[in-house]
C-alpha cells in the first residue's frame, strides 16, 4: 500500500505538478518497495510461469495508458518487473552470463528504471541479510543517480522501508490482482484530472 501511495504521488507530480520536485522525490520510494515484493513473490510463488505471464499481460495492457498519460516513450514498470523476474530465474539457475546479458539489454531497451531497476531487484534476492542488502542498495543507488538523476538517491529510503518495515504491524489482506489493475487505472484518473481548468497549461 505504501508503494502504491508513493507511486500515485510520483505520477501526480509528473503529470499534474511537474514543477514540484518534492512529489517526484517521494515517488522514488515506490520502486524499491515493489522490487522487494517482486522478489518475495518469486521466492514464494506456486507457479513462476503464471506469475511472469501476469506481469507481461498487464504490462501490455498498461502500455497505451502509460504512453498517453505520461508522454514518455518507454516500456512501463510491469515490463521492468517482468525482466527482473527473468533475471532472478537466471540467477537461481546459476546462468550468470544470462543475468549479465539481461542487465546490459535492460540498459539498451527504453524501459522504466533501465538497468538500475534490474539491479535493484537482483540485490534484494542476492543479499538476504538486511544490513548487506541495505549496503548493496546504497551502491546501486549511486549508479541510479548517474543513470537517472540526483533524486534517485532518495530511493534508498524505499529500500529501507521494504527491508525494515515492522513485521508485527497489522496485515491488510488485498486481492493480488488489485495492484495489477491499480496501475493503469490510477494513470487514467490522473490523466483525466489534467484536463480540468485548474491544471490547464
pLDDT reported for residue 165: 85
pLDDT reported for residue 140: 94
Residue 163 has pLDDT above 80, yes or no: yes
pTM: 0.93
Q: How many degrees, rounded to 5, is the angle at CA 151 between CA 83 and CA 71?
A: 60
**How far is the C-alpha of 110 from the C-alpha of 75, rounded, in Å?**
6
| pLDDT band, residue 200 (cuts 50/70/90) | low
Phi and psi of 75, rounded to 5°? -75, 140
pLDDT reported for residue 12: 96
Residue 147 has pLDDT above 90, yes or no: no
Helix axis angle for 155-164 and 130-148, nearest 10°, is 160
Residue 173 has pLDDT above 80, yes or no: no
- CA of residue 29 relative to chain centroid, distance: 9
Phi and psi of 111, rounded to 5°? -135, 160
**How far is the C-alpha of 61 from the C-alpha of 79, rounded, in Å?**
11
pLDDT, average across residues 13-40: 95
pLDDT, average across residues 151-167: 91
pLDDT reported for residue 201: 58
**How far is the C-alpha of 121 from the C-alpha of 14, rounded, in Å?**
24
What is the residue whose three cell numbers read 534517485? 152
Residue 167 has pLDDT above 80, yes or no: no
pLDDT reported for residue 198: 82
pLDDT, tens digit, for every residue of 55-106? 999 999 999 999 999 999 999 999 999 999 999 999 999 999 999 999 999 9
Amino acid at each position: 500500500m505504501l508503494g502504491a501511495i508513493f507511486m500515485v504521488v510520483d505520477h501526480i507530480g509528473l503529470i499534474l505538478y511537474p514543477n514540484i520536485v518534492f512529489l517526484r522525490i517521494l515517488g522514488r520510494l515506490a520502486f524499491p518497495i515493489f522490487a522487494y515484493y517482486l522478489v518475495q513473490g518469486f521466492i514464494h510463488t506456486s507457479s513462476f510461469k503464471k506469475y511472469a505471464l501476469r506481469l507481461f499481460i498487464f504490462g501490455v495492457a498498461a502500455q497505451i495508458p502509460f504512453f498517453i498519460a505520461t508522454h514518455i516513450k518507454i516500456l512501463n514498470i510491469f515490463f521492468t518487473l517482468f525482466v527482473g523476474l527473468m533475471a532472478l530465474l537466471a540467477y537461481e539457475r546459476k546462468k550468470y552470463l544470462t543475468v549479465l546479458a539481461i542487465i546490459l539489454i535492460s540498459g539498451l531497451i527504453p524501459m522504466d528504471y533501465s538497468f538500475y531497476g534490474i539491479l535493484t531487484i537482483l540485490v534484494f534476492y542476492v543479499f538476504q541479510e538486511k544490513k548487506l542488502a541495505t549496503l548493496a542498495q546504497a551502491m546501486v543507488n549511486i549508479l541510479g543517480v548517474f543513470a537517472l538523476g540526483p533524486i534517485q538517491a532518495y530511493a534508498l529510503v524505499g529500500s529501507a522501508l521494504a527491508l525494515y518495515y515492522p513485521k508485527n504491524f497489522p496485515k491488510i489482506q488485498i486481492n493480488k490482482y488489485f495492484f495489477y489493475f491499480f496501475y493503469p487505472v490510477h494513470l487514467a484518473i490522473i490523466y483525466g484530472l489534467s484536463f480540468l481548468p485548474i491544471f490547464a497549461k
